[in-house]
Each structure stands twice: as C-alpha cells, then as structure tokens.
Chain A
Amino acid sequence: MENYSTEKQMVRVSKLHKWFGDLHVLRGISVDIAPSEVVVFIGASGSGKSTLLRCLNFLEDAQQGEISFKGRQIDPKQDNLNRIRQRIGMVFQRFNLFPHMSVLQNIMEGPVQVMGQSRDEAKSEALDLLEKVGLQDKTDEYPDMLSGGQQQRVAIARALAMKPEVMLFDEPTSALDPELVGEVLEVMKDLAVEGMTMAVVTHEMGFAREVADRVVYIDEGEIIEMGSPDQVFDHPKQGRTQEFLSRIL
C-alpha cells in the first residue's frame, strides 16, 4: 500500500495498540502521513480515532507499537516529549483556551514561555496569526467573551504560534453550533492550501471530501479502509465502510 520511503514521511505510525484497562481501543493501527498531506480520520464515536490522534501527541501513551516523527522513532520514556510537542500542534474539541488570559496572551504564551521568544516578537507574530484567522479585533478579549467558533479559531492560532510541522485536529467542530462550523473549517482549509501537514478527526464529511488527500475509516480500533476521498466515499470496498457511510450521509 505504501510506496514511500521512511524519510519521506512526516509521521509514521506502526502497529499501534492502546488499552484503557481491559478495553482494547487501538488494535494495531498503521498509518503514514506525508509532508503537506491532509489525512482525515472518520468513524463512529468510540472507534478510537480520537485516541489515535492523542497518541500522536503523546497525550496518551500507547502500550505497543511505534510512532516516528520525521523518520525518527519516538521513545516516550527517553525522548523529551515537550520538544516534540512543540513541533506538533493540537486543536481540541472543547478549545481549551486559557480562560485567565486574553486572546493575545493565549497565543503568546507558548512562544514566550516555551520557545523563549521576546514579548515584542511574539506579539507581532500573534497579531499576524489573529489576522489570519480573522480575529484581529479580538486581541484583548477574554475567551469567555467569544463565540465557540471564535474560540476555536484562537485555539488554532495558539497552536500555529509554535510553528508546528504537523497540526492535529481532534473533532474541532463537534462542540460548535452548526452556524459556527463553517468559519472554523474555512481556516482549516486555508491551512491545508498553504501546505500544512494535517491529521483531522471529524464528522464533517463535506470537509473530508473537499480537503482530504486521504480518508481513513476506523472502526473498533482498526483501520477498515483508507484511500482518496473519491475511493472511500464513492467506491468503498468494505462492507463496514458502506454501512457506516449509509448511516451518516
């Protein structure tokens, strides 16, 4: 299935297993993500797709299998995960903005505290990012004053401020009112066009069809089907994929 050599992959996941207690949530997941590729993970809730994404950022510890980043295998016990996380941006379903900080501070926090950037430099970059996500007029607001869609766009800017090489999106629009979903997807589309490497867990099939280079269908902790949007949405080979798609489309 894969014609790429290891070095060409941004992220390589190999035979990943994860248990929560007795619950076997990931059952040998192997998937690669190439630079600038947008991979969208779909599947029912509880299928393990969010867990997979959280494993990529080492927020969850997989018990078995390997994760490589830019050709280097990561050992969660040996490697400095803080360093690795700086290069992997994460956007959460529930935004998780820091409520005690203004929009600007939220975005500057990582660059100043972690990368040691000067406040002035961090501020000017944060302002650029806010413009990019269309919130330049909200710099001094606090998160609780913003709509869900605006909060999520700030969260994306916060992740981008670390200049990550990969962005992980964990159901970024699932907590949003329907009318706010579009503005967040728009920002994500722009990122994809700019060539950001992205792994996205979502229920937004329209987005998957339009933006994804590859769609991965996960069920019960296993990859059932993987391919171009055309292939997975229009010509699914597996019965389980067909059944899932017929339920949601």
Chain B
Amino acid sequence: MQLLEFAKTYTPLFIPATWITLQLTVLSILLGCGLGLLTAFAKLSDKKLLNRVADVYITVIRGTPLIVQLSFIYFALPGIGINLSAFTSAVVGLGIHNGAYIAEIIRGGIQSIDTGQMEAARSVGMDYGRAMRRIILPQAFRQIVPPLGNQFIISLKDSSLAGLITVNEIYMTSRRLGASTYQQMEFYLMAGVFYLLMVTVFSLIVNRLEKRLQTSSRQVSEVL
C-alpha cells in the first residue's frame, strides 16, 4: 500500500526521464542500424581495406566496456576540442556501440543465405546491388529479425549507462531521488519496474513482428 502511494507521488517525476530513455534508445538504434548495415557490407566486401576498417571497429567496440566508450566521448573528447552535450554523447556512444553488434547480426543473416541464390540472381543479369536488394536481403531479413529484436532490448537497458555521463534518464533520476530522500529501495524498485514495463512492451512488438514474418515472409520482397 505504501509502495503504491509512493508510486503515485513520484511517477510524474519519472515521466520526463522515461521520455529521455526512449529517445536514447530509439535514436541509438537508428544510428546503430545505419552503422551496422554499412559495416556489414564493409565486412562482406572484397576490398581488403574495408574489411580491415570494419574489423577494427567491431573489435574495439566489442572489446571495451560501454561505460568507457561513453566516458571517452563525453569526458575525454573535449580535450581535443570536440564538445558534445551529454545527450548527444550518449546517442553517439550508444549508436556506435549498437552498430558493432548489429553489423555482426546483419552479416550473419546475409551469410546464412545459400551462395546459390546470389549466383542465380547474377546469372539472370542482376548487378550485385539489385541481387542483394531483391533476392538476398528479403531472405536474410527473416534470419535477422529475432537477434535484432534482442539487440534492441539490450540497447534499451544499456541506455541506463548514459546516466553516468549526466543524462537524466530513468536510472540517473532514481539514483538522484534515492540519494536525496534516503528512499533507495523505493526508487530503484521503481526504476526496475519502468525498465521491465518498457522491455515487455518492446518484446511484444518484436514477437508480433516475428510472427508476421513467419506467415508473410514472402511479401517482404515487395517491401524492399
């Protein structure tokens, strides 16, 4: 009962924080998808230099903690004259981070498609780009969606680290309020509930998309 009362009182304070968390998540996913797509094709390219660049990017990002990456962008880059706001730093950092993981997801999806598909497409005279768009990607899409949905959920939770570079998202808000009111238990529980709710909604959307793809994967080629 006490907790409900508490939730009622403080939920309004969490609304702007939730909005920021959502923004961080969506923007970093969009940036991550763009970077991921580019990187996946760089890795699949027959140009050695592009392979190298993609490898270095993926190795560095996957090999270092996200909090170090975010701190580097927000606290260290100003040292060489690059000043980004906390929010922008977070979006860029989370986006670059997502991109490395999404690149591997997309590459895996594309490589899971039988090489005979590309050969058949080329044999009717399609160029590489058209073969990708019309033949390979629609088939790869089905492989990509489940792990991509998973990555989206991870990036929603990862956005909490933006709090440590002073972005007032859900985690930072609960930490601040908890510290100033000495109600740590209540505020962290509340943060947890907010994340859980958002992840649940997210999962539902991804699951529904997966289901629809199962039944209508054949129409994907019409969309692309």
A83 to B123, CA, bound (A): 10
A86-B119 in contact (CB<8A): no
The interface size bin for chain A is 20 to 34
B126-A113 in contact (CB<8A): yes
B139-A57 in contact (CB<8A): no
Which residue in chain B gives the minimum CB-CB distance to A84? B125
A86-B125 in contact (CB<8A): yes
A114 to B127, CA, bound (A): 9
How does the 8 Å CB contact mask read for A4-29 relative to B, with 1 for contact and 0 for none? 00000000000000000000000000
How does the 8 Å CB contact mask read for A79-105 relative to B, with 1 for contact and 0 for none? 000110110111010101111111001
The answer to whether A100 and B138 touch (CB under 8 A), given A92-B119, A94-B116, A142-B218, is yes
Q: What is the distance, in angstroms, from A141's C-beta to the closest C-beta of chain B? A: 12
Q: Which residues of B contact A101 (CB under 8 A)?
A: 218, 221
Q: Does A188 contact B (CB under 8 A)?
A: no
- Main secondary structure, interface of B, reads helix
A98-B125 in contact (CB<8A): no
A-B contact count (CB 8 A): 69
Q: Does B134 contact A (CB under 8 A)?
A: yes
A94 to B116, CA, bound (A): 8
Q: Does B5 contact A (CB under 8 A)?
A: no
- With beta carbons under 8 angstroms apart, the residue of A82, A83, A96 that contacts B114 is A96
- With beta carbons under 8 angstroms apart, the residue of B126, B135, B220, B221 that contacts A82 is B126
The interface size bin for chain B is 20 to 34
Q: Which residues of B contact A110 (CB under 8 A)?
A: 124-126
- With beta carbons under 8 angstroms apart, the residue of B117, B125, B138 that contacts A96 is B117
8 A Cβ contacts from B114-140 to A: 114, 116-117, 119-127, 130, 134-135, 138-139
A86-B124 in contact (CB<8A): yes
Q: Does B217 contact A (CB under 8 A)?
A: yes
Q: What is the distance, in angstroms, from A17's C-beta to the closest C-beta of chain B? A: 21
Q: Which residues of A contact B119 (CB under 8 A)?
A: 59, 90, 92, 96
The answer to whether A100 and B127 touch (CB under 8 A), given A59-B119, A92-B120, is no
- With beta carbons under 8 angstroms apart, the residue of B123, B126, B130, B139 that contacts A99 is B139
Which residue in chain B gives the minimum CB-CB distance to A97? B120
The answer to whether A98 and B120 touch (CB under 8 A), given A110-B125, A113-B130, is yes
B135-A98 in contact (CB<8A): yes
Q: Which residues of B contact A96 (CB under 8 A)?
A: 114, 116-117, 119-120
Q: What is the distance, in angstroms, from B108's C-beta to the closest C-beta of chain A? A: 18
8 A Cβ contacts from A87-135 to B: 88-90, 92, 94, 96-102, 105, 109-110, 113-115
B116-A158 in contact (CB<8A): no
B122-A59 in contact (CB<8A): yes
A59 to B124, CA, bound (A): 12
8 A Cβ contacts from A145-164 to B: 155, 158-159, 161-162
B125-A82 in contact (CB<8A): yes
- With beta carbons under 8 angstroms apart, the residue of B114, B123, B220 that contacts A59 is B123
- With beta carbons under 8 angstroms apart, the residue of B124, B126, B134, B218 that contacts A158 is B124
Interface core residue of B123, B217, B220 (most chain A CB under 10 Å): B123
A179 to B122, CA, bound (A): 30
Q: What is the distance, in angstroms, from A20's C-beta to the closest C-beta of chain B? A: 15
B116-A114 in contact (CB<8A): no
B120-A100 in contact (CB<8A): no
Which residue in chain B gives the minimum CB-CB distance to A112? B134
A97 to B116, CA, bound (A): 9
Q: What is the distance, in angstroms, from A64's C-beta to the closest C-beta of chain B? A: 20
A114-B218 in contact (CB<8A): no
Which residue in chain A gives the minimum CB-CB distance to B114? A96
Q: Which residues of B contact A159 (CB under 8 A)?
A: 123-124
- With beta carbons under 8 angstroms apart, the residue of A82, A99, A109, A115 that contacts B134 is A109
A109-B138 in contact (CB<8A): no
The answer to whether A92 and B127 touch (CB under 8 A), given A59-B122, A99-B139, is no
Residues on A close to B: CB < 8 A? 57, 59, 82-83, 85-86, 88-90, 92, 94, 96-102, 105, 109-110, 113-115, 142, 155, 158-159, 161-162
Residues on B close to A: CB < 8 A? 114, 116-117, 119-127, 130, 134-135, 138-139, 217-218, 220-221
Besides A85-B124, A86-B124, 9 other A-B contacts (C-beta < 8 A): A86-B125, A88-B123, A90-B119, A90-B120, A90-B123, A92-B123, A96-B116, A100-B218, A158-B124
